[in-house]
Structure 1
Amino acid sequence: MTLPVPLTGVVPPLCTPLTREGDVDTRSLEALVERLVEAGVDGLFVLGSTGEAPYLDDARRHTALRTVVTAAAGRLPVLAGVIDMATARVLDHARAAAGLGADALVATAPFYARTHPVEIADHFRRVRAGTGLPLFAYDIPVSVHRKLPAGTVLELAGDGTLAGLKDSSGDDGALRRLLVGLRARGLLDRFTVLTGSELSVDGALLAGAHGVVPGLGNVDPEGYLRLYGHARAGRWSEAAAEQDRLAVLHALTGTGPEEAMGRNASAIGGFKAALHLLGVLDCPATAAPQVPLDDVAVATVRALLTERGLL
């Protein structure tokens, strides 16, 4: 389908359900898509960090994207992550995603080797030219070890290389300055800014962001839809109250013991445990080598869902 310009609202980054053997569980993924469509979200982001894309081989990535595109059936735009270390690999993913029916692409800057802003700009231009699909930059310095330079984003927004930005930098001040710069250049009506900082969505929307890409939206899409609706209607106290409720629920991402597992594994495990308890996923397995949640952590996830009225 044609991507709205700008893309607004709630665009969850889908979990990728897996079997115990590590294959994509297409039945559970279809169920997750249907759940989110019925909730009323505004788009679907496949193969991002929440989707464990860095842990999946190409065949599993293709299976996940194909399943989501088919299940969405044109009802919502599908954004496909094409995340990899270097331009040639990202172009391979981009062409595959285009062939599988993605409506837009999401790419980080190159990583592992240090890159200059000139090289980052060239990278995004090559990816954009590779398929012609709308391209979103993914600013996630915790994973690529460098924040996207604001000047580069403004340049690529201005010349049409980038259709938007998913900002998961956690730097609210930098996001605010970028929004000011985009507004001054008259670009906010054609360049989408989505925040990935799901605990400060109300502030980002007040500053001018168009929407949110919340991992917790897999579990509680209605909560983020209420938050977005309050913000767009100018009901900021109600938006803040909903944000506070979601902040409490977000604790499910930290239930895994720090001495036994990484924080990424804890977060993805928390989302998947919640979806398993809600009956959406058949199995809460995460991709190797991430450590699964133990029984104590799962019990805490269950308690959080119960306290928030979701279970």
Structure 2
Amino acid sequence: MNFPTPNGRKWLSGVVPPVCTPLTPDREVDVPSLLRLVDHLVDGGVDGLFVLGSSSEAAFLTDGQRRLVVESVAAHVGGRLPLLAGVIDMTTPRVLDHVAQVTAAGADAVVATAPFYARTHPTEIALHFRRIAAASPVPVVAYDIPSAVHTKLPADLVLELAAEGVLAALKDSSGDLGGFRAVVTGARTHPGITGFSVLTGSELIVDAALALGADGAVPGLANVDPHGYVRVDRLCRAGDWDRARAEQERLCALFGLVGVGDPARMSGSSSGLGAFKAALHLRGVIDCPATAEPQVPLSADEVERVGKHLAAAGLL
């Protein structure tokens, strides 16, 4: 990849937010708000952008909406930063269709989970990623998110595929810190692996992940406060662990906004993604806080609580 890599860092490193997808009140992609959000993230100093991930509500978007997101962001960014695009779907053939679409639209890398709906064996997962890599003209990033696909990517399989050149990076949202450490260590010590990036998908342990040797982070909360996550990353790289920890703790408190939704009437997804979008709306970044159906919108009282989290974090 021909992107700037300051201080010898890998092409995929630092803070790579999973970009929210602003919607209009009638649930179409709000392209002007999307591009303002991209500018908000770039101005915050992020190192890359990941569209069509979980925080992007990719699972709720039509194929046409997915392509519109990639085309719009790719044209706007103009190659200044790596642009990753999710190709998340249930089966290999459907994922390959998405690969063709997003790479034609301008993605610099594709991000895929294990296949889902039916539970899969590691042999099938390996075949899935090998088929994606064979079809993709750009690097392939594995997305480990067992909460969504009901399968944990085994560390030894990730390292095997990295050594083969099938995978260029891993985004780990599994919550398995031991498994994450095994991949970080293996990527550093395996004689057949070069240039493989390992990033945490957690908002809460970015400083800890970087201390373990991770290359960066893909935190959804970075949509709301990109400057904060960039500060954590830069402080860790400078070895200023005390200040990094203090900034991480401020972000941990801010992350409390994802719990504002009443669990008696909505899912954690409705609450969390609704809170991200409410925060972006309150900060003046996007025009409308609508989430994709069938997610449930936050109430006025819940949005007010989001505002209190923002104020406490110094963002309002």
The answer to whether TM tops 0.5 is: yes
**Equivalence for 1:39:** 44
How far apart, in 2, do the equivalents of 1:188 and 1:36 lie? Answer: 31
1:286 paired residue number: 291
| CA deviation map 1:177-220 (0-9, x unaligned) | 22122222146750000100110111110001000001010010
2:187 touches 2:194 (CA, 8 Å); kept in 1?
no
How do 1:146-165 and structure 2 match up within 5 A?
146-165=151-170
Aligned to 1:178: 183
Structure 2 counterpart SS, 1:165: strand
**Partner amino acid for 2:314?**
G
One-letter amino acid matched to 1:2: N
Partner SS, residue 193 of structure 1: strand
Deviations 1:12-62 (A, max 9, x none): 000000011110000000100111111111000000000000011101111
Query: Partner of 2:41: helix, strand, or coil?
Result: helix
Which residue of the partner structure matches residue 143 of structure 1?
148
> TM-score normalised to the size of structure 1?
0.98
2:123 paired with 1:112: no
**In the alignment, what sits opposite 1:306?**
311
Unaligned runs of 5+ in 1: none
Q: Do residues 169 (structure 1) and 174 (structure 2) align? A: yes
Change (3 A) 1:193 1:40: same
TM-score (norm 2): 0.96
Match of 1:234 in 2: 239
Match of 1:90 among 89, 95, 111: 95
Instruction: Say if 1:2 and 1:77, in contact at 8 Å, map to a contact too.
Output: no
Equivalent in 186, 200, 209 of residue 214 of structure 2 = 209
Q: Which amino acid aligns with 1:202?
A: D
Q: Percent of counterpart pairs with the same letter?
A: 57
Take 2:294 and 2:213, find their aligned partners in 1: how far apart are those partners? 39
Query: Where do 5+ consecutive residues of structure 2 fail to align?
Result: none
Are 1:6 and 1:189, in contact at CA under 8 Å, matched by a contact in 2? no
Q: Is the 8 A contact 2:183 2:198 kept in 1?
A: no
1:296 deviation in Å? Answer: 1.0
Alpha-carbon distance, 1:131 to partner: 2.0
Partner of 1:79: 84
Distance in 2, Cα, partners of 1:175 & 1:186 = 19
Tell me if structure 2 keeps the 8 A contact 1:10–1:43.
yes
Given that 1:18 and 1:24 are in contact with CA atoms closer than 8 Å, whether structure 2 keeps it comes out as yes
Contact 1:227 1:239 in 2 (8 A): yes
* SS of equivalent to 2:84: strand
Asked whether 1:251 is paired with 2:278, we answer no
Superposition misfits of 4+ residues, deviation over 6 angstroms: none
Counterpart CA distance in 1 for 2:159 and 2:194 is 14
- 2:276 maps to 1:271: yes
Separation in 1, partners of 2:27, 2:179? 38
**Equivalences, count:** 311
